[in-house]
Structure 1
Amino acid sequence: MRKNSIKNTRINGEVMKELSLIIRQEIKDPRIHMMTSVTSVEVAPDLKTCKAYISVMGSDEEKKDTIAGLRSAEGYVRRQLAKRLNLRNTPEIQFVLDQSIEYGVHMSRLIDEVNKETPERDEEDDK
């Protein structure tokens, strides 16, 4: 099975959906921040491993605590995935902090700042 096959894409989507539900509804660890979301999931073609990219809206300390809480609940999450998904193997989950959303917001702010300065220059050039 190729890495980007239709089957692998479908499995990634199902694991992402179930993982989001488990994190949001079932894990009771106080370290896990309320604003935690699963941005993407990459399941290996052999279904042995899985990288789950987690985005946390909060401070750096809350991000570290959330990842630590998820890593400690990894066995529970894996058992719940095994119950919910009919896969040959239930992958070992590796939680990775995804900062792409924050990076995008930061870049958007920088672009807005540049755009605010640009019209002033254009008006001066027209005179």
Structure 2
Amino acid sequence: MATSRRIERVAELIKREVSQMLLSGIKDDRVGAGIVSVTDVQVAGDLQHAKIFVSIYGTSEAKAETMAGLKSATGFVRSELGQRIRLRRTPEVLFLEDASLERGDKVLSLLNRLSQERERSAPSDLVEEE
């Protein structure tokens, strides 16, 4: 079992290297269908598995196409990580879509709409009763 500090360092290294691969290493055209960024990497305590969370900007079709391209490139990504990061065993890679940015945007728009509705429904001249 690796220490939590080592797990965090390995996760950061994987995040940086996969981000570089997304820019120039992965040649699959499906990956370029949407704008992809690595938002988080979770590495298991035994350093055998890595969940890579990606945020994809684009239509739902582009997101599905990009996820299919990433899933087909997992072997390439794992072999590249093995060459770039010196570990005894290269972790198994799993790409997962991170929808937290979209959920946050939806919550912000709902809050803004509520704020606007409150401003419209509140009287403009508040009269205090004495």
TM-score in terms of structure 1 length? 0.91
User: Counterpart of 1:126 in 2: which secondary structure?
Assistant: coil
Map residues 37-116 of structure 1 onto 2, 5 A cutoff.
Answer: 37-116=37-116
The equivalent of 1:19 in structure 2 is: 18
Alpha-carbon distance in structure 2 between the residues aligned to 1:125 and 1:114: 20
Identity across the alignment (%): 37
State whether structure 2 residue 116 is matched by structure 1 residue 120: no
Which blocks of at least 5 consecutive residues in structure 2 are unaligned? none
The equivalent of 2:35 in structure 1 is: 35
Alpha-carbon distance, 1:122 to partner: 3.6
Alpha-carbon distance in structure 2 between the residues aligned to 1:48 and 1:65: 27
Q: Which one has the largest radius of gyration? A: 2
Structure 1 residues 76 and 28, CA gap change in structure 2 (3 angstroms): same
Q: Could you list the per-position Cα deviations for residues 75-97 of structure 1 after superposition, in whole angstroms to 9, with x for gaps in the alignment?
A: 11111111111112111101111
User: Counterpart of 2:23 in 1: which secondary structure?
Assistant: helix
| Runs (4+) off by over 4 Å | none
User: Counterpart of 1:50 in 2: which secondary structure?
Assistant: strand
Which blocks of at least 5 consecutive residues in structure 1 are unaligned? none
Aligned length: 126
Alpha-carbon distance, 1:124 to partner: 5.2
Alpha-carbon distance in structure 2 between the residues aligned to 1:14 and 1:125: 58
User: Counterpart of 1:90 in 2: which secondary structure?
Assistant: coil
Alpha-carbon distance in structure 2 between the residues aligned to 1:22 and 1:43: 18
